[in-house]
Chain A
Amino acid sequence: AQSVTQLGSHVSVSEGALVLLRCNYSSSVPPYLFWYVQYPNQGLQLLLKYTTGATLVKGINGFEAEFKKSETSFHLTKPSAHMSDAAEYFCAVVKAAGNKLTFGGGTRVLVKP
């Protein structure tokens, strides 16, 4: 069985500071990994994904994530937080060629002026 753990259900950062959201996964086979963002009362939007190839993945809105197989991690970062980054972020994993996507518990980001 696969699972996803996001460390910290709430994260508060100052505008302009580094955003770091942690995601660790367990999977019996190499996974595909995703980060999604959800703004209030909206659906999910894909930020970035890792399937194969380069382990540092760049996404939209200045976010990036690095797949580290040895650490079973896929942490999300953004060098400089903006007020518009305030949202909830979800990490997700699916087995390559599988169909069951498993989500982490989500991390709510608060950006302080």
Chain B
Amino acid sequence: DGGITQSPKYLFRKEGQNVTLSCEQNLNHDAMYWYRQDPGQGLRLIYYSQIVNDFQKGDIAEGYSVSREKKESFPLTVTSAQKNPTAFYLCASRSPPGGEDNEKLFFGSGTQLSVL
């Protein structure tokens, strides 16, 4: 089945540690996104990528890094510079214009990151 897979479902980070959240899609989508969800704040855009080997900062990119070496993969690294990393992280990809799925977003099931 086509879709987006995020792993792990739960992740714990020690102080000063970098951790990487995985996001893989087999939908052949060019555009992919990382969002952070905090209670009462809705979703905020961290980074997005419109095509392989390209990505842009979103609204809250500080303390995060991404790579887009393959179309299928858009991993997010939460660095030690991110002082408040505890949140629910959602990855998404977007279908191209036209067709039944015209610019539809597909979401993964999320990763809950907590600080030890």
Residues facing B in A44-97 (CB within 8 A) are 44-46, 49, 51, 90, 92, 94, 97
Question: What interface size band does chain B fall in?
Answer: 20 to 34
Interface residue stretch chosen among B13-21, B64-72, B101-109? B101-109
Give the residue name and chain of the A residue nearest to B110 (CB). Answer: A43
Does B110 lie within 8 Å of A41, measured CB to CB?
yes
Give the residue name and chain of the B residue nearest to A102 (CB). Answer: B45
Does B105 lie within 8 Å of A104, measured CB to CB?
no
Does B42 lie within 8 Å of A46, measured CB to CB?
no
Interface readout for B70-109 with A: 1 if CB under 8 Å, 0 if not? 0000000000000000000010101001000011110111
Q: How far is the CB of B96 from chain A (nearest CB, A)?
A: 11
* B31 proximal to A (CB < 8 A): yes
Query: How many residue pairs bridge A and B at CB < 8 Å?
Result: 55
Q: Which A residues are in CB contact (< 8 Å) with B108? A: 43
Give the residue name and chain of the B residue nearest to A103 (CB). Answer: B43
Q: Which A residues are in CB contact (< 8 Å) with B63? A: none
Give the residue name and chain of the B residue nearest to A9 (CB). Answer: B40
Total residues of chain A contacting the partner, CB 8 A:
25
* B22 proximal to A (CB < 8 A): no
* B7 proximal to A (CB < 8 A): no
Q: Which A residues are in CB contact (< 8 Å) with B33? A: 101
Does B41 lie within 8 Å of A105, measured CB to CB?
yes
Tell me which of B6, B90, B107 has the highest count of chain A C-beta atoms within 10 A of its own C-beta.
Answer: B107
| Given A103-B43, A105-B40: A34 touches B105 (CB 8 Å cut-off) | yes
Does A46 lie within 8 Å of B104, measured CB to CB?
yes
Q: How far is the CB of B42 from chain A (nearest CB, A)?
A: 4
A-B contact pairs, 11 of them (CB 8 A): A6-B42, A9-B40, A41-B110, A43-B90, A46-B105, A100-B48, A100-B58, A101-B45, A102-B45, A103-B44, A106-B40
Q: B residues engaging A (CB < 8 A)? A: 4, 6, 31, 33, 35, 40-45, 48, 50, 58, 90, 92, 94, 97, 102-105, 107-110, 112
